[in-house]
């Protein structure tokens, strides 16, 4: 009797197990330039797996994170009892994208950066791009990124940059201008932990060259300086952001930590860490509230070549080109974006923003953050012209007007949202 009951329970268990909803086949529709086999390798739902709505939503989110995918969704169709087909439908971006950043300010500064980037080489979301920059001097760079190999978890990136700019150096409350050149080769390994977490790690080999042009001088500040350096880099990204074309909602964090070392024993080692926190919230159908908090700290060396700058294209719109430097920074950007026009392929967005920040002086202390000379607040307005079928095809114009001490104002142009 006991043996018969056990056999009955065993077969009852098997019957209950086989009645669970099961995926019999998976299809992906809408992929033309992107390889279907590449997308199938990234998604978790496979033929024979249990039907799980949470996993389906995670797959859709991962597809939306790809540069080649403008939007994605899924549907489930019943075949037989407890057997289902899953169909993912994707809308693709056009991925050969030119980009540009331009800006001007009240002291007649003008600079630009233009380039071209392909985000979907061989239909596998490999990225290859290059740029040319004119900021008084000429600069250029090239990069290659292969983010998804070995089942989509591992990848790598290679880049070479030759950047030359005119940099302000602050010496005893006076300013000097230096020609700064940085030649750098970088290789990073990429590891995608899951849909929300990613780690990049690697090394950067670079040469810095400072040459005095004009302005203040000091016997303690060299007029010519060239040094070879290397740095170890670790980047940790957490992203829990939902994408609906150009709209975003959710939270993300990116930590960039670097250890800089030189073969020259007379140059001290150097640590720098930056963490960007972003938060987006949909407000109604057309509104999007966007926020970024940037916290940065570096070794507090009393040097005129401090790492954190106050700059138009990095943190404060309208402030000018690298008008100050520090060894620690707090920057908060907030803006409300509203879509006046939202058609099938085009959107026109207006925005009101407030950019604010403060810096620690080289060799100073954290009380510098509260000094009036260190605080900048720049409200402003802007427009976004958006092509919804081309990846990152957002042309932006922003005008920032400073309301704090020694403020300026200026226009900043660019491709892509400011953050």
Mean pLDDT of 370-384: 95
Please tell me the class of the 2-92 domain.
Answer: alpha beta
* One-letter-per-residue 3-state SS of the chain: CHHHHHHHHHHHHHHHHHCCCEEEEEEEECCCCCCHHHHHHHCCCCCCCECCHHHHHHHHHHHHHCCCEEEEEEEEEEEECCEEEEEEEEEECECEEEEEEEEEECCCCEEEEEEEEEEEECCCCEEEEEEEEEECEEEEEEEEEEEEECCCCEEEEEEEEEEEEEEEEEECCEEEEEEEEEEEEEEEEEEECCCCEEEEEEEEEEEEEEEEEEECCECCECCEEEEEEEEEEEEEEEEEEEEECCEEEEEEEEEEEEEEECCCCCCCCEEEEEEEEEEEEEECCCEEEEEEEEEEEECCCCCCCCCEECCCCCCCCCCCCCCCEECEEEEEEEEEEEEEEECCCEEEEEEEEEEEEEEECCCCCHHHHHCHHHCEEEEEEEEEEEECCECCCEEEEEEEECCCCCCCEEEEEEECCCC
Assess if CATH 2.30.30.90 describes domain 96-415.
no
What pTM, to 2 d.p., does this model score? 0.79
Instruction: Give the pairing of strands 83-92 and 22-29.
Output: parallel
For 195-254, the pLDDT digits (tens) are 899 999 999 999 999 899 998 888 877 888 888 999 999 999 999 999 888 999 999 999
Mean pLDDT for 76-88 is 92
Cα(3)–Cα(378) distance, integer angstroms:
80
- pLDDT of 18 reads 52
Q: 267-325, pLDDT tens digit by residue?
A: 788 899 999 999 999 999 999 999 999 999 999 988 777 889 888 888 999 998 777 88
**pLDDT at residue 4 is higher than 70:** no
* CB 77, CB 84: distance < 8 Å: yes
Asked if residue 2 has pLDDT above 60, the reply is no
Bigger pLDDT: 311 or 257? 257
Quick check: 16 pLDDT over 60? no
More confident residue, 111 or 386: 386
Residue boundaries of the structural domains of the chain: 2-92, 96-415
Q: In what order do the strands lie in the sheet with 83-92?
A: 22-29, 83-92, 69-80
Query: In this predicted model, what pLDDT tens digit does every residue of 103-142 receive, in sequence order?
Result: 665 455 677 889 999 999 999 999 999 999 988 899 999 9
Lowest mean pLDDT of 26-30, 33-37, 101-105, 260-264, name the range: 101-105
If you average pLDDT over each of 121-135, 149-163, 383-397, which comes out highest? 121-135
């Amino acid at each position: 009797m006991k043996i018969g009951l056990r056999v009955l329970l065993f077969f009852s268990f098997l019957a209950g197990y086989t009645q669970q909803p099961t995926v019999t086949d998976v299809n992906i529709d809408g992929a033309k330039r992107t390889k279907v086999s590449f997308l199938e390798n990234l998604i978790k739902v496979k033929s024979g797996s249990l039907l799980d709505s949470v996993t389906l939503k995670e797959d859709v989110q991962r597809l939306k994170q790809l540069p080649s995918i403008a939007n994605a969704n899924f549907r489930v169709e019943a075949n037989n009892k407890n057997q289902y087909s899953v169909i993912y439908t994707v809308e693709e971006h056009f991925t050969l994208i030119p980009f540009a950043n331009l800006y001007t300010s009240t002291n007649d500064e003008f600079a630009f950066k233009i380039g071209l980037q392909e985000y979907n080489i061989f239909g596998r979301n490999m990225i290859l791009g290059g740029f040319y920059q004119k900021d008084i001097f000429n600069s250029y760079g090239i990069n290659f990124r292969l983010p998804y190999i070995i089942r989509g978890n591992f990848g790598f990136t290679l880049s070479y940059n030759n950047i030359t700019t005119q940099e302000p150096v602050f010496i005893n409350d006076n300013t000097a201008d230096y020609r700064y050149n940085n030649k750098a080769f970088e290789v990073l390994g990429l590891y995608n932990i899951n849909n929300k977490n990613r780690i990049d790690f690697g090394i950067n080999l670079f040469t810095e060259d400072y040459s005095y042009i004009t302005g203040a001088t000091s016997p303690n500040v060299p007029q010519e300086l060239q040094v070879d350096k290397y740095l170890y880099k670790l980047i940790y990204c957490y992203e829990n952001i939902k994408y609906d074309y150009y709209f975003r909602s959710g939270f993300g964090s990116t930590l960039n930590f670097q250890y800089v070392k030189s073969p020259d024993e007379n140059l001290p080692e150097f640590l720098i860490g930056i963490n960007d926190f972003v938060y987006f919230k949909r407000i109604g159908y057309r509104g999007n509230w966007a926020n970024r908090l940037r916290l940065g700290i570096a070794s507090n060396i009393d040097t005129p070549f401090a790492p954190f700058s106050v700059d138009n294209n990095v943190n404060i719109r309208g402030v000018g080109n690298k008008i100050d430097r520090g060894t620690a920074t707090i920057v908060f950007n907030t803006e409300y974006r509203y879509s006046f026009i939202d058609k099938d392929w085009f959107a026109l967005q207006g925005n009101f923003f407030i950019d604010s920040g403060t810096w620690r002086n080289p060799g100073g202390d954290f009380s510098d953050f509260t000094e009036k000379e260190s605080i900048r607040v720049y409200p402003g307005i802007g427009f976004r012209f958006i092509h919804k079928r081309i990846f990152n095809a957002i042309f932006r114009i922003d005008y920032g007007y400073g309301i704090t001490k020694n403020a300026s104002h200026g226009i900043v142009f660019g491709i892509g949202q400011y953050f």
